[in-house]
Every structure is written in C-alpha cells, then in structure tokens.
Amino acid sequence: MPTNIAVYPGTFDPVTNGHLDVIRRGAQLFGELVVACAVNITKQPLFSLSERLDLLKTVTRGLRNVRVESFEGMVVDYVKRQGSRVILRGIRTFSDFEAEVQMALANRTFAPEVETVFVCASLEESFISSRLIREAAALDGDVGRFVPPEVLEALRGKKRALHAQVGSHRKGK
C-alpha cells in the first residue's frame, strides 16, 4: 500500500541549508513531509529541543505540506504512528551512504514495512553538516552562507556556549 507521507528525522542542531534542501525536495516528492526533530539521548545538543523546533518551524513556514514535530524512541515506531511507511534521508558523502545504509537495514529488521528513501545532497550543500557549523561558529567563522538567517542569529546568541564547548575540547586534549 503506497504512502503519501514521509518522515525526515534528525537532530537538526542546528538546521542547515543542506537540511532545507532535503526538506524542500522531500516536500516535492511526497504529499506530506513530517520533519521529526529527535530527542537523542547520546548527544548533547547546543540548542534545546524547543529551540530546534522553533527554528525548524520558522525556516519551513512557507512549505505548505511540511509539518514539524519532535519524537523520542525508535524512528520506525514514530513513522508508523504517523501513518507513514517512508523515512527520508539525505546523503552527502560516501561515509554518509555507508552509515545510512547500515541504519536503513537495521530499521528494516525492526519494521520491514518501512522503507528508507535517499536523496543526494545538492553539490553546493554536500559538505555542510551541523557539526561543522557548530565548530566553525565556535571559532568565530562566518557560517552565514550555510544556514538560514534565523539560524545565524540564533548561533550568535549561543556564542558563550559555543566558546565554552571549544574550551572544554581543548582542555581534554
């Protein structure tokens, strides 16, 4: 049975132009795209869950068939609760591909009816990652071309936290 709903899960810490590229393209491929912001117990995010949700809602506000939500637990369970059978994922590099295929195969083990659909990042967005953005911003790099203006402003507001992260990593080395 085909589905017209896809779920694009991630931590989006912060949301980048690369994420937005996948969101826009997913919105064209599916009748409804749920951007699902994960509560990830293995990560210490820079932005709180509510801040990430607010940023996602702001930068996707013009996309009529995109809905932003949060979730905890296994993504396949969340996908099924949404009435979907599709996980949308973006691929930037070969290492992304390897990790994403591994995750897709694991997800199929838990929920064989859920498929993962991959879209390749646009060439100009292919090297952007949230981790790169956080690290560059912590070192006062100009990340304005890699994130929406609202995210850039939010990053500026996190300057103290970003600098603290860089300081703690330097002390640990």
Active-site positions read 19, 43, 92, 130
Give the separation between CA 1 and CA 9, rounded to whole angstroms. 22
Give the separation between CA 27 and CA 119, rounded to whole angstroms. 12
Give the separation between CA 73 and CA 10, rounded to whole angstroms. 12
> Could you tell me how far CA 146 lies from the centroid of its own chain?
14
172 C-beta neighbours (distance < 10 Å), count: 6
Query: Do 90 and 69 meet the contact criterion of CB atoms below 8 Å apart?
Result: no
Query: Do 90 and 21 meet the contact criterion of CB atoms below 8 Å apart?
Result: yes
Helix (H, G, I), strand (E, B) or coil at 122: coil
Give the separation between CA 22 and CA 42, rounded to whole angstroms. 24
